[in-house]
Structure 1
């Protein structure tokens, strides 16, 4: 028997207009709305997932914080991983919102920190991530119930914590990702769970080792998460056919336009996803069961674990052996793929919320 802790298995609710039957072909029935995104979350809770990411974008879709507050009373068990664009928020107000939603959920809230610009602003990488580190410090201090006396470059605040804190009295776990030098240092200084996009296993191992070493210099230890799409079917051939079908109505120009439109289209992480895709085999596989075709029609996380239930399970277990503690999975369409994963793979994984 393994002495490993259970891993966290999360799904994804497409708040940023990222749901399709055919990539690159918008479907009005799958566009972000309260009803559609609510149904994905309810599907994930029914299926047994531990957590669900509520993504956030300024231009696309619907607001993650408002959505989290709206859906909290409907949920009985699943956690919410609420994405927050810190460049758009005043941290003391954000701390109060987080504490309120955490109580509405019975203490089942985690936060995905996004190192965003303000809408209409473009800040260079180093100061933008420095601002993110400040934001994480402010949030943790206030949500741990401590008075704040902060004299930073971006915020100068002397304020008591809000009267209403989280149910536990502690700050929720902060998930955060980014591959640039500035992002890695920000993660080492401030987050609790470092998130990665798909890559070859040797690259994943190298990133984990690097972030661990950086965190140790600050006297900290982190946990690690892996964000990927997944396509699981009863046979590998059926899974590959489903992957091919997903791209069957995409032309190269449309895919390039979608990628260029993204707010993060020039980031280090997006460049790494492009390199992974360009280095893949002719059928799009960067390594066994890791298919890069998704990245032809979206920026950001651009690869999927594709295979039969045994293959998908083995892939996830190999990541666990490397030190991954949490998975944030998704598929197209999101509700249908959540059901397939919940039936074929989830019962076979030792999983539970990150403690």
Structure 2
């Protein structure tokens, strides 16, 4: 997937595990479809049947789509259980360094990777959601979290790939003749890193196997990619890019816009207030960009950030007909993005719609460009 002068690979398409809950409405006090294991299993099985490459599982300490006290599925347990009831699809599991002992995490991840047949990748989340860390007793500044995340990745790689026993000495993590069993070796999980700040881009250039960004207007994404290329050139490492976006697709464009607006039409004022509190004053550049103000939440002809009113983190969606959304995704692909993490509400039905109506169009357009 790395950007090079050679032939690019076919794009990868991933889906999303809605651990906050799901339904045709977002931002209500409770979800129409709570995040029970039976429902999340249905989402995962649908994504696998539809041919998606992987599934992103976010990490939260409070519900980030409905009321904060609404039911929430725990990330690692959910990923483990879903891996046991699927056979092909991969899992991209979000992890926040600092909440579990490094040696234990390395063993847990290595074991899940082995049990699942090598289907685990890790999305490292250094910054997180404002005030979310503090809920569970973690108090550290933005810079510290990035420094700790870098050591976390380095030490995990050492445990997974270096000859054992392993010694590692850092400011946050120390290993003294440590072992990890099983040891994945060269087949170890890949690390995905996100973020839009200079600190985040620098960390990706040094450590990311894939840099994952939230969707922004095409010109803004082009600037992010240019900045990343400069950072990666300084480290000499290959640059691989992923993009995260929601979808609202209908056969008619106006119908798609009506569906987008209906998503947040019944949002509860207290949920909107909770989301606003997570954004105001945040040092996270990406979160600021997702919540920028625009008339009718329209950031572009087909880009809408209305979900930022009710959802933490990625709050933007591509809206339109399958042909229009395919053309939009092709524009991002032209920038060098080869992996797209998609989602839509509800996640079962919209997974099927995307697989049947959208992805064949995107693949055809990409194939035509690389002939």
Common fold: TM-score over 0.5 = yes
Q: Distance in 1 between matches of 2:173 and 2:268?
A: 46
1:114-171 per-residue CA deviation (whole Å, 9 max, x = no partner) reads 11557312211111100000001111121224343211111121234423123x6432
**CA gap 1:48/1:265 in 2 versus in 1, 3 angstroms:** farther
Q: Output the CA distance in 2 between the equivalents of 1:28 and 1:197.
A: 24
Equivalent residues of 1:56, 1:64 under 8 A apart: yes
Of 10, 14, 19, which residue of structure 1 is paired with 2:18? 14
Question: Which residue of structure 1 aligns with residue 167 of structure 2?
Answer: 149
Hey, what's the Cα distance between the residues in 1 that align with 2:241 and 2:226?
11
Residue equivalent to 1:319: 332
Contact conserved, 1:264 with 1:299, CA < 8 A, in 2?
Answer: no
Alignment of 1:87-102 (within 5 A): 87-102=98-113
Q: Which residue of 2 aligns with 1:192?
A: 209
Shift of 1:72: 1.5
- TM-score normalised by length of structure 1: 0.90
Question: Mind listing any 5+ residue stretches in structure 2 that lack a counterpart?
Answer: 1-5, 64-71, 365-371
- SS at the partner of 2:35? coil
The range that moved more, 195-204 or 56-65, is 56-65
Give distance in 1, aligned partners of 2:243 and 2:177. 36
TM-score by length of 2: 0.86
Maintained 8 Å contact 1:68/1:101: no
Coordinate RMSD, CA, aligned: 2.2
Give the whole-Å Cα distance in 1 for the aligned partners of 2:283 and 2:313: 10
Instruction: Report the 3-state secondary structure (helix = DSSP H, G, I; strand = E; otherwise coil) of the residue aligned with 1:325.
Output: strand
| Alignment equivalent of 2:27, drawn from 17, 24, 35 | 24
- Counterpart of 2:122 in structure 1 is 111
Other structure's SS at 2:246 match: strand
Match of 1:84 in 2: 95
Q: Is the 8 A contact 1:145 1:169 kept in 2?
A: no
Distance, in Å, in 2 between the alignment partners of 1:142 and 1:324 is: 30
3-state SS, counterpart of residue 94 of structure 2: strand
Tell me, yes or no, if structure 1 residue 301 matches structure 2 residue 314. Answer: yes
Give the conservation status (yes or no) of the 8 Å contact 2:279–2:287. no
Structure 2 equivalent of residue 228 of structure 1? 245
1:348/1:181 CA distance change after superposition, 3 Å: same
What secondary structure sits across from 1:86 in the alignment? Answer: coil
- Is residue 240–residue 338 contact of structure 2 (8 Å, CA) maintained in 1? yes
Gaps of 5+ in 1: none
Mean alpha-carbon deviation: is it higher for 245-254 or for 218-227? Answer: 245-254
The SS at the match of 1:194 is strand
Q: CA deviation at 1:18?
A: 4.6
SS across alignment from 1:172? coil
Q: Distance in 1 between matches of 2:269 and 2:73?
A: 28
Comparing 263-272 and 38-47, the one that deviates more: 263-272
Preserved contact between residue 21 and residue 35 of structure 2 (Cα < 8 Å): yes
Residues 104-253 of structure 1 aligned to structure 2 (within 5 Å): 104-115=115-126, 117=133, 119-147=136-164, 148-166=166-184, 169-250=186-267
CA distance in 1, matches of 2:81, 2:197: 34
Q: Deviations over 1:224-277 (max 9, x none)?
A: 1111100111121221111121122136664233332579955222111122xx
- Number of aligned residues: 344
Q: Say if 2:110 and 2:181, in contact at 8 Å, map to a contact too.
A: no
Q: Is the 8 A contact 1:305 1:312 kept in 2?
A: yes
324 and 80 in structure 1: CA distance in 2 versus 1, 3 angstrom threshold: same
Q: Distance in 2 between matches of 1:52 and 1:175?
A: 13
CA–CA separation in structure 2 for the residues paired with 1:263 and 1:155: 32
